[in-house]
């Protein structure tokens, strides 16, 4: 297995700069995800790693080889596409064997490899079927099987689950994670779905407008996002953003913002006050799950601030309940357990977990 290193990679289509100096490294055996909205450049980056797009400037290294000018077939990679890209007139067995056949691998070795990979992916009963006789999930497993039989140094996945229904996507996410745990190959996975990125990857590169906004472990990206874009993109429902001001109340630093009937003053926790550096305008970021109903468990707990807010809308989802709350003129989303679920029209007593709150600079939009 090999590492992947991308250094100051740039890509122009005419006068349009699509990638603006990308620096990334996937360690040998690591699973990294490239995530971001449509048009952010993630699929272009993957295509450049695969050799399907030329490099305007910068370097791509697979292991100890710079591969900028190396043909795709010589990069020792395997790619799984969004559209599966299976040959419709060939059987599953023939689709999986095609790459080995073109490389002149002996038939006996082909048969042995296909049998092993088919058993691993539970395709052994489907080898004589054609793609049109398979479900979407089965076709995706065939596409993965075709990549696996090559035993490459690097696996590339380009939004492989986007054509599947919601339940099948969850099932296939599990299959891909199991696949990586068993095979242990370096993997780069492109998706616009932040849940896929969070559940699959050991590290995530969040991209926007051709730049990497943050590259880190999922927990760090979720809990300490580098900027407002990352904070808003990662998480569903999205983080709530509140225009506020850091001031002092009774000698304690607080975050203040207007609410119905007055002002909310939420005490800062930990070393945040030192990082803020005195009174200033900020954007307060609070994730929906960090709002809860006041209770005996929250009262007096360090870092928990109390306030109340009217409930405008309630959305039960079974395991949890979403609610839209009014913080003055601003609508804020909260995620609650069924036993603390609010009712529409209620003035809900809230406990705000300020140990998990984020403060952003409203000018630079970066985390303070």
Q: What is the pLDDT of residue 38?
A: 92
**pLDDT on residue 225:** 98
Phi, psi of 367 (to 5 degrees): -65, 135
Query: How confident is the model over 259-271, as pLDDT tens digits?
Result: 988 999 999 988 8
DSSP 40: S
Does residue 275 surpass a pLDDT of 80? yes
- Residue 346's SS3 state is coil
Q: Name all domains of the chain by residue range, CATH numbers in brackets.
A: 4-226 (3.40.50.300), 240-360 (2.40.50.140)
Say if residues 73 and 67 touch (Cβ distance below 8 Å): no
Residue 1's pLDDT is what?
74
Average the pLDDT over 37-61 and give the result: 96
The pLDDT value given to residue 234? 96
Tokens of 187: 């993997």
Q: What is the pLDDT of residues 289-337, one digit of tens each?
A: 999 999 988 988 999 999 999 999 999 999 999 999 999 999 999 999 9
pLDDT at 209: 96
Torsion angles phi and psi, residue 111, rounded to 5: -60, -40
| Residue 23: closest CA among 55, 53, 58 | 58
Question: Distance of CA 38 to CAs 45, 85, 167, 208, 294, Å?
Answer: 13, 21, 23, 9, 40
- Give residue 161's pLDDT band: very low, low, confident or very high (50, 70, 90): confident
pLDDT band at 81 (very low <50, low <70, confident <90, very high): confident
Split at pLDDT 50, 70, 90, the class of 162 is confident
Task: Tell me the mean pLDDT in the region 33-44.
Answer: 96
Mean pLDDT of the chain: 93
Higher-confidence residue: 251 or 316?
316
Measure Cα distances from 336 to 231, 326, 357 in Å. 20, 16, 17
| Residue 80: pLDDT over 80 | yes
Q: 335-354: buried (b, 16+ CB within 10 Å) or exposed (e) per residue?
A: bbeeeebbeeeeebebbbbb
- The alpha-carbon radius of gyration of the chain (Å, integer) is 25
| Confidence tier at 142 by pLDDT (50, 70, 90) | very high
Place of tokens 């580098």: 226
Q: What is the Cα–Cα distance from 212 to 352, expressed in whole angstroms?
A: 31
pLDDT at 141: 87
Find the mean pLDDT for residues 5-23.
97
* Residue 253 scores a pLDDT above 90: yes
- pTM listed for this prediction: 0.90
Is 273 strand, coil or helix? helix
Q: Single out the residue of 190, 93, 87 nearest to residue 149, CA to CA.
A: 93
Give the mean pLDDT of 207-232.
98
How high is the pLDDT of residue 60? 98
**Residue 269 near residue 355, CB atoms below 8 Å:** yes
> ∠ CA 184-48-209 to the nearest 5 degrees?
105
**What's residue 203's pLDDT?**
98
* Burial category of 365 from C-beta neighbours within 10 Å (exposed 0-12, middle 13-18, buried 19 and up): middle
The confidence band for 82, taking pLDDT boundaries of 50, 70 and 90, is confident
Classify residue 238 by its DSSP letter: P
Assigned token pair, 327: 């913080």
Find, among 233, 272, 237, 268, the residue nearest to 253 by Cα: 268
pLDDT tens-digit readout, 144-159: 899 889 889 999 999 9
**pLDDT tier for residue 165 given thresholds of 50, 70 and 90:** confident
């Amino acid at each position: 297995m090999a590492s992947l290193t991308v250094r100051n990679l740039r890509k122009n289509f005419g006068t349009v700069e699509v990638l603006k100096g990308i620096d990334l490294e996937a360690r040998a055996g690591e699973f990294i995800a490239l995530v971001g909205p449509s048009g952010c450049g993630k699929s272009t980056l993957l295509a450049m790693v695969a050799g399907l797009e030329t490099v305007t400037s910068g370097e791509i290294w697979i292991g100890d080889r710079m591969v900028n000018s190396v043909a795709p077939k010589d990069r020792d990679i395997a790619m799984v596409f969004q559209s599966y890209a299976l040959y419709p007139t060939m059987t599953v067995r023939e689709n999986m064997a095609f790459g080995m056949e073109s490389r002149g691998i002996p038939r006996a070795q082909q048969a042995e490899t296909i049998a092993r990979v088919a058993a691993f992916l539970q395709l052994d009963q489907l080898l004589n079927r054609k793609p049109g006789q398979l479900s979407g999930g089965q076709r995706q497993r065939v596409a993965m099987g075709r990549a696996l039989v090559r035993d490459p140094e690097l696996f590339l996945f380009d939004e492989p689950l986007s054509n599947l229904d919601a339940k099948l996507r969850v099932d296939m996410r599990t299959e891909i994670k199991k696949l990586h745990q068993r095979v242990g190959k370096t993997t780069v996975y492109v998706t616009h779905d932040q849940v896929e990125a969070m559940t699959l990857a050991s590290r995530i590169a969040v991209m926007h407008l051709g730049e990497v906004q943050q590259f880190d472990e999922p927990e760090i990206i979720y809990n300490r996002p580098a900027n407002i874009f990352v904070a808003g993109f990662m998480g569903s429902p999205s983080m709530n953003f509140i225009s506020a001001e850091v001031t002092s109340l009774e000698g304690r630093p607080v975050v203040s913002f207007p609410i119905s009937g007055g002002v909310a003053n939420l005490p800062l926790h930990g070393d945040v006050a030192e990082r803020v550096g005195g009174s200033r305008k900020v954007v307060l970021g609070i994730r929906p799950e960090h709002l809860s109903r006041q209770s005996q468990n929250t009262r007096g707990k360090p870092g928990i601030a109390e306030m109340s807010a009217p409930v405008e809308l309630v959305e039960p989802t079974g395991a949890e309940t979403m609610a839209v709350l009014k913080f003055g003129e601003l609508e804020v989303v909260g995620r609650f357990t069924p036993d603390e679920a609010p009712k529409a029209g209620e003035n809900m007593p809230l406990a705000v977990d300020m140990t998990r709150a984020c403060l952003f600079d409203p000018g630079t939009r970066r985390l303070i």
